[in-house]
Amino acid sequence: MRTILLTVLLVVAATAQATDYYVAPNGDDHAAGTKGAPLRTIMRAQQAAKAGDTVYFRGGVYTYTAGVNRCA
């Protein structure tokens, strides 16, 4: 019984990992969105992020012209 419970917990933990994305005015939308290789636009971060993910914005000025239609 303990083995089954441990297996289930490990599977759930492995599939429930959230991703952190980073955005910077000097980033690149073809980058991975990591701290060392940030994305450039809010729109690209919105496309990449899924429920449970976190998007961090470095200081700077961002423009966003598209509408927001995703809920957290």
For the stretch 46-60, pLDDT in tens is: 999 999 999 999 999
Rounded to two decimals, the pTM is: 0.68
N- to C-terminal Cα distance for the chain? Answer: 36
Task: Domain of residue 47: give its range.
Answer: 18-60
Is 66 inside any structural domain?
no
Distance of CA 31 to the CA centre of its chain: 13
User: What residue has token string 């809010």?
Assistant: 42
Residue 37 gets which letter from DSSP? S
Is 71 inside any structural domain?
no
Instruction: Tell me which of 8 and 41 has the higher pLDDT.
Output: 41
- The predicted pLDDT at position 63 comes to 83
Instruction: Tell me which of 68 and 33 has the higher pLDDT.
Output: 33
Is 53 inside any structural domain?
yes
For the stretch 12-66, pLDDT in tens is: 565 568 999 999 999 999 999 999 999 999 999 999 999 999 999 999 998 877 6
Is 69 inside any structural domain?
no
Is 34 inside any structural domain?
yes
Per the structure, the count of domains in the chain is: 1
User: Quick check: 37 and 26 in contact, CB under 8 A?
Assistant: no
Is 11 inside any structural domain?
no
